[in-house]
């Protein structure tokens, strides 16, 4: 992607201007997508993203610049501009590059280039047909495939030289049902860090039935009376609440700014002993996995909470330095356009001893949030807000009528200790997570679990 | 390769390969941003980003490809990929626009101020440091100021086609954001404020920090209030954010695909009779303004709601042909994607009440000053369910700050239940000119 000598000159220039650390991140990505909507494949698109990011650290100060022009003189000019923005320091010297070999834990079994686009179009039409067969009230179907290949090079002034190749594949299916009072949408969006074998192995019947049936149930649903109540939170994408309300505040990017309720709490009980939470970047072919992070560190399995005790944070180079913890291989960025910061990978609450039936049976009146939609959180205060995509009232220990339009709101560190039952049905789900270093693929997950009380917004 | 030459090169490939319906869109942006933390500049970001998108239409089939490398081999690869991508899709009604309208000089939209491009790291740093210092000084309960960002950016946009259409715009802006975290000992609150302008004003840094801290301080002590139906005032920052989530319903394409509740309702009353809503593409200084849309169609102001009555859908070429009419000039496109429907500047006329007067109309109401994410809002069904923060107002007086509540309802009911509108728009650069709104019928859960 870039020559050894160009990278060397850039890094040396940075060091000669007083940076104590210099890094080059180069990326060459190919992305392609096919969208089907209203029974038609309307657009087929493809694209190439290419650029180089240069980062200079002067102590705790970071200077980042990027360009999609990778000519050597352009990169030297960019580096010069970055260094000029900072007062000069003592010049440093560059270590000899040591090429790190990357252990590929996420093999691509079927190379996407070997499969004609027509096959993807046929898959989308098949999914459209299966979804519509689920019921007459299915009024619209949207389906798309996205494939992306990222080649990255990370080299730094400590002599690191790492090249990695990342192949992603994702499907998105949206079913829209209408029964007279407005359309209701339900979506399924599985994805992997892997090749075309993902599409070949899809359980089309299950995915289309999940999306269509959820849309059909919600189209006929009423609204829940809002208020504080027990909530049984479904497995898989239900983990988005832990991701937003606890995962982000456990990133050193929040800790180092004193913008996290979890700052200084390592070793303290933050949840009941039943709860263990993990962020694992090594799970084979999972959507949020990595071979190496975007600073070139091998991905790791990081225990965040063990038996209710806070064990650690997710860290990048700057976060580790400022918070005084080890790096966890969690530095991530959407593309060369972003400097890396600590981010989640595959984050989940581990399985527990209970069954879904136990949990439902323990609730006199409450909400079963079978499937969550998106949400947001203020990491500084822990305040979160999440939509329930598919919900049911629980009445006298039994699942009763479906309800829509519910939201869950609360504060992460207050809700965490209120998780009192955890199921044995752990499932992971793919998502995209947006933060200061852009949108990165992450997996959320959990077994079904029970929160003793939380505010449910309804009507 | 120079960016204008890159566009010409892509069009020359179209001629060479005898493709008659090709357009090329180029975006190029430059930005400089600083972040401040703990009284120091902790990060400087400097960037140049560009991308060139090629759209090839063959017998109603569209192929799209892009590249961020403006070099002949990469552009040729993108062109050939777009051409190949145009072979498989289903044919649609899309055509490339052949009519070439008279285009006014885009400079008359006043979207570019050359003085902003001269701002240095030092200028932005001083602004950010003053914002952070002012936030800390404003209130002893400010324990951290985790986010202070100051950024200037400029963008060029050029679209050209094999039919001779060529249109470009140049715009820039400067903005800043400050978020302070306050801790009263028993409660934490964030106070955030943003500033966005096309005129540099170095004194705004301190004002930004004070405002961020002040907003957080005013919310300390917030608690929930009992649920029920309560009139709600959405302030002039919140109202445009909330309404924007539902503007997709005005897209003809959405209606044609069963994804708008406005389908079949042209000419019907959908809002209170006093409500008007217009899309104005020519509003001077508004970042969304342009004389030609992404398909080269001349833009024009378009009434969406007049006297409460639904008047027009937003069309691009394909959706217009499906309904047997002309495009209204609402095609949008980025270099990496296809044509979509976009608004330019959505304008709701102001009324006569300032915010205090608006809050004093009902005996008791909730003034909403913060929305907590829109995930519970369904843009297709119109369902609204969202956590909010603000103040309980009784007899026009602020009784207490409020949090841990949600408001719920439906966008289409909300339009009918607007009882009064405020007398001003929020002051930042925006494409949404919607004043504060007094709304009835929303349900509060606490």
Task: State the Cα–Cα distance between residues A102 and A362, nearest whole angstrom.
Answer: 49
Classify residue A237 by burial, with Cβ atoms within 10 Å: 0-12, 13-18, 19+.
buried
d(CA A384, CA A409): 6
Residues B344, B279 contacting (CB under 8 angstroms) = yes
- Whole-Å CA distances, B23 to A256, A265, A297, B19: 48, 57, 43, 10
How many whole angstroms separate alpha carbon A334 and alpha carbon A136?
40
> Which residue did the predictor score with more confidence, B209 or A83?
B209
Q: What is the pTM of this model?
A: 0.91
- Between CA A368 and CA A358 the distance in angstroms is 13
Using CA coordinates, name the residue in chain A closest to B31. Answer: A65
Q: Dihedral angle at the C-alpha atoms of B349, B354, B355, B356, nearest 10 degrees? A: -160
3-state helix, strand and coil shares in percent for chain B, rounded to the nearest 5: 25, 35, 40
In sequence order, the 6+-apart residues with CB closer than 8 A to the CB of A303 are: A276, A277, A278, A311, A312
Residue A326 has pLDDT above 90, yes or no: yes
Contact A402, A392 (CB under 8 A): yes
Chain A residues close to B259, C-beta within 8 Å: 140, 176, 183
Domain ranges, ordered by start, for chain A: 227-457
Confidence of residue A458 (pLDDT cuts 50, 70, 90): confident
A211 has pLDDT over 70: yes
Taking a contact as any Cβ pair under 8 Å apart, which residues of chain A between 357 and 396 contact chain B? 373-378, 380-388
Taking the C-alpha atoms of residue B344 and residue A1, their distance in angstroms, rounded to an integer, is 40
Q: For residue B248, give the 3-state DSSP assignment.
A: helix
Per DSSP, the three-state class of A9 is: helix
* Confidence band for A86, pLDDT divided at 50, 70 and 90: confident
Of B49, B224, B257, the CB nearest to A140: B257
Q: Distance between CA B433 and CA A340 in Å, rounded?
A: 36
Mutate which: B65, B144, B146, vs A, most A CBs within 10 A: B146
pLDDT(A93) > 80:
no
SS3 content of chain A, % helix, strand, coil (to 5): 25, 45, 35
Fold that domain B3-218 belongs to in CATH = PmbA/TldD fold (3.30.2290)
pLDDT over threshold 70, residue A88: no
Contact at 8 Å (CB) between B26 and B157?
Answer: yes
pLDDT of residue A87: 67
Q: How far apart are CA A35 and CA A196, in angstroms?
A: 17
Per-residue model confidence as pLDDT tens digits over A12-41: 999 999 999 999 999 999 999 999 999 999
Instruction: Measure in Å the smallest separation between the Cα of B102 and chain A Cα atoms.
Output: 30
User: A382 to each of A252, A412, B126, B233, how far by Cα in Å?
Assistant: 15, 5, 30, 26
φ, ψ of residue A400 in degrees (nearest 5): -110, -140
Query: What's the complex ipTM?
Result: 0.89
Residue A459 has pLDDT above 80, yes or no: no
CA distances from B98 to A116, B20, B293, B326, B340 (A): 34, 11, 14, 13, 19
Whole-angstrom Cα distance, residue A158 to residue B28?
A: 34
Phi-psi region of A326 (alpha: psi -120 to 50; beta: other; left: phi over 0): beta
Closest-approach residue (CA) in chain B for A387: B376
Q: Which residues, including other chains, have CB under 8 Å from residue A277's CB and lie 6 or more apart?
A: A242, A246, A271, A303, A304, A305, A347, A348, A349, A350
Give tens-digit pLDDT for A333-368: 999 999 999 999 999 999 999 999 999 999 999 999
CA dihedral B380, B385, B388, B394 (to 10 degrees): 110
Q: At what angle do helices A72-84 and A4-16 cross, to 10 degrees?
A: 20
Q: DSSP character for A292?
A: B
CB atoms within 10 A of CB A244: 26
Size of interface A-B (CB pairs under 8 A): 254
Partner-chain residue, chosen from A176, A227, A409, that has the shortest CB–CB distance to B227: A227
Mean pLDDT for all residues in chain A: 93
Contact between A23 and A295 (Cβ < 8 Å): yes
Measured N-to-C along each axis, helices B3-16 and B72-85 cross at an angle, to the nearest 10 degrees, of 50
Tens-level pLDDT at each residue, chain B (446 residues): 888 999 999 999 999 999 999 999 999 999 999 999 999 999 999 888 899 999 999 999 999 999 999 999 999 999 999 999 999 999 988 999 877 788 999 999 999 999 999 999 999 999 999 999 999 999 999 999 999 999 999 999 999 999 999 999 999 999 999 999 999 999 999 999 999 999 999 999 999 999 999 999 999 999 999 989 999 999 999 999 999 999 999 999 999 998 899 999 999 999 999 999 999 999 999 999 999 999 999 999 999 999 999 999 999 999 999 999 999 999 999 999 999 999 999 999 999 999 999 999 999 999 999 998 777 788 888 989 888 999 999 999 999 999 989 899 999 999 999 999 999 999 999 999 999 999 999 999 87
What tens digit of pLDDT does each residue of A247-278 get?
999 999 999 988 888 999 999 999 999 999 99
Chain A residues touching B44 at Cβ < 8 A: 61-64, 82, 85-86
Helical ranges in A370-437 per DSSP H: 412-415
List, in order, residues 6 or more apart from A291 with CB less than 8 Å away: A102, A103, A104, A105, A106, A164, A166, A298, A299
Asked if B43 lies within 8 A of A78 by C-beta distance, the reply is no
Give contacts of B37 with chain A, Cβ < 8 Å.
257
CA distance B137 to A178: 54
Strand order in the sheet with B443-445: B228-229, B443-445, B397-410, B383-394, B364-371, B232-234, B437-439, B418-421
pLDDT per position as a tens digit, A135-161: 999 999 999 999 999 999 999 999 999
Q: Which residue has the tokens 């006199």?
A: A364
CB B49 within 8 A of CB A337: yes
Report the DSSP beta bridge partners of residue B306: B309
pLDDT > 80? residue A85? no
Chain B residues touching A459 at Cβ < 8 A: 408-409, 443, 445
What is the per-residue burial (b if ≥16 Cβ within 10 Å, else e) of A404-413?
Answer: bbbbbbbbbb
Q: How many CB atoms lie within 10 A of CB B229?
A: 12
Interface list for A 61-90 with B (CB within 8 A): 61-69, 78, 81-82, 85-86
With CB atoms and an 8 Å threshold, state whether A50 touches B65.
no
With CA atoms as reference, the chain A residue closest to B29 would be A67
pLDDT digits (tens, 9 = 90+) for A175-190: 999 988 778 889 999 9
Residues 6 or more apart whose Cβ sits within 8 Å of residue A204: A123, A126, A127, A130
Q: List the domain boundaries for chain B.
A: 3-218, 222-446
The verdict on a CB contact (< 8 Å) between B406 and A409 is: yes
């Amino acid at each position: 992607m870039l020559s050894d000598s160009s990278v060397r000159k850039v890094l040396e220039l940075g060091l000669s201007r007083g940076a104590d650390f210099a890094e080059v991140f180069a990326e060459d990505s190919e992305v392609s997508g096919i969208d089907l909507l209203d029974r038609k494949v309307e657009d087929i698109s493809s694209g190439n993203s290419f650029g180089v990011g240069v980062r200079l650290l002067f102590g705790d100060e970071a200077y980042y610049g990027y360009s999609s022009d990778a000519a050597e003189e352009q990169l030297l000019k960019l580096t010069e501009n970055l260094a000029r923005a900072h007062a000069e320091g003592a010049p440093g010297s560059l270590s000899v590059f040591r090429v790190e070999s990357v252990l590929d834990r996420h093999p691509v079994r079927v190379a996407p280039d070997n499969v004609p686009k027509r096959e993807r179009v046929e898959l989308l039409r098949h999914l459209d047909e299966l979804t519509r067969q689920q019921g007459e009230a299915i009024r619209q179907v949207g389906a798309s495939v996205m494939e992306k290949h990222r080649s990255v090079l990370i080299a730094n002034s400590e002599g690191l030289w790492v090249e990695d190749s990342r192949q992603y594949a994702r499907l998105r299916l949206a079913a829209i049902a209408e029964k007279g009072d407005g359309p209701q949408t339900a979506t399924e969006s599985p994805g992997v860090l892997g090749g075309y074998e993902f599409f070949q192995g899809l359980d089309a019947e299950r995915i289309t039935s999940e999306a269509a049936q959820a849309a059909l149930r919600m189209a006929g649903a009423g609204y829940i009376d809002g208020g504080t109540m027990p909530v049984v939170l479904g497995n898989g994408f239900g983990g988005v609440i832990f991701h937003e309300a606890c995962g982000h505040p456990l990133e050193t990017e929040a800790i180092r700014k004193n913008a996290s309720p979890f700052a200084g709490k390592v070793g303290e009980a933050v949840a009941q002993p039943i709860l263990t939470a993990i962020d694992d970047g090594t799970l084979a072919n999972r959507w949020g996995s990595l071979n190496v992070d975007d600073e070139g560190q091998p991905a790791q399995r990081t225990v965040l909470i063990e038996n209710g005790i806070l064990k650690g944070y997710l860290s990048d180079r700057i976060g580790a330095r400022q918070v005084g913890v080890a790096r966890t291989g969690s530095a991530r960025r959407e593309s060369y356009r972003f400097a890396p910061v600590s981010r989640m990978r595959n984050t989940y609450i581990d399985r527990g001893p209970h069954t879904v039936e136990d949990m439902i049976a323990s609730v006199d009146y409450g909400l079963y949030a079978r499937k969550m939609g998106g949400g947001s959180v203020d990491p500084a205060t822990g305040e979160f807000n999440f939509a329930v995509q598919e919900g049911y009232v629980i009445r006298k220990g039994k699942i009763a009528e479906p309800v829509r339009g519910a939201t869950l709101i609360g504060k992460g560190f207050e809700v965490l200790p209120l998780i009192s039952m955890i199921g044995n049905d752990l499932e992971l789900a793919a998502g995209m997570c947006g933060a200061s270093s852009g949108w990165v693929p992450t997996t959320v997950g959990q077994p079904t679990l029970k929160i003793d009380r939380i505010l449910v917004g309804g009507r | 390769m120079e960016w204008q030459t890159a566009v010409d090169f892509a069009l020359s490939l179209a001629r060479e390969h005898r493709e008659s319906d090709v357009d090329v869109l180029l975006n190029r942006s430059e930005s400089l941003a600083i972040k401040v933390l703990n009284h120091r500049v902790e990060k400087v970001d400097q960037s140049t980003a560009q991308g060139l998108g090629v759209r090839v239409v063959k017998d109603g089939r569209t192929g799209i490809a892009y590249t961020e490398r403006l070099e002949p081999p990469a552009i040729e690869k993108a062109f050939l990929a777009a051409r190949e991508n145009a072979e498989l899709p289903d044919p649609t009604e899309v055509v490339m626009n052949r009519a070439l309208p008279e285009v006014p000089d885009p400079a008359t939209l006043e979207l570019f101020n050359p003085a902003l491009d001269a701002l240095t790291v030092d200028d932005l740093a001083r602004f950010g440091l003053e914002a952070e210092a002012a936030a800390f000084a404003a209130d002893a309960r400010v324990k951290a100021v985790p986010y202070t960002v100051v950024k200037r950016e400029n963008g060029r946009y050029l679209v050209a086609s094999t039919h001779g259409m060529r249109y470009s715009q140049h715009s820039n802006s400067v903005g800043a954001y400050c978020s302070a975290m306050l801790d009263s000992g028993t409660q934490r609150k964030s106070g955030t404020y943003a500033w966005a302008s096309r005129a540099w004003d170095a004194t705004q840094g301190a004002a930004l920090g004070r405002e961020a801290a002040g907003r957080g301080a005013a919310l300390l002590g917030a608690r929930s209030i009992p649920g029920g139906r309560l009139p709600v005032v959405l302030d002039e920052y919140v109202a445009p954010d909330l309404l924007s989530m539902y503007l997709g319903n005005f897209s003809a394409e959405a209606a044609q695909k069963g994804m708008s509740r406005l389908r079949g309702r042209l000419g019907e009353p959908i809002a209170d009779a006093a409500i008007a809503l217009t899309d104005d593409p020519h509003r001077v200084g508004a970042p969304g303004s342009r004389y030609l849309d992404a398909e080269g169609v001349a833009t024009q102001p378009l009434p969406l709601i007049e006297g409460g009555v639904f008047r027009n859908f937003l069309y691009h070429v394909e959706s217009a042909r499906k309904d047997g009419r002309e495009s209204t000039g609402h095609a949008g496109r980025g270099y990496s994607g296809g044509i979509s429907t976009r608004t330019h500047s959505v304008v709701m006329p102001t009324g006569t009440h300032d915010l205090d007067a608006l809050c004093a109309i009902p005996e008791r109401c909730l003034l909403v000053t913060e929305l907590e994410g829109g995930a519970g809002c369904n843009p297709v069904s119109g369902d609204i369910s969202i956590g909010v923060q603000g103040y309980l107002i009784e007899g026009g007086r602020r009784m207490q700050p409020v949090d841990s509540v949600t408001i719920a309802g439906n966008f289409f009911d909300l339009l009918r239940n607007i009882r009064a509108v405020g007398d001003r728009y929020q002051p930042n650069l925006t494409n949404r000119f919607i004043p504060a709104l007094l709304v009835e019928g929303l349900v509060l859960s606490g």
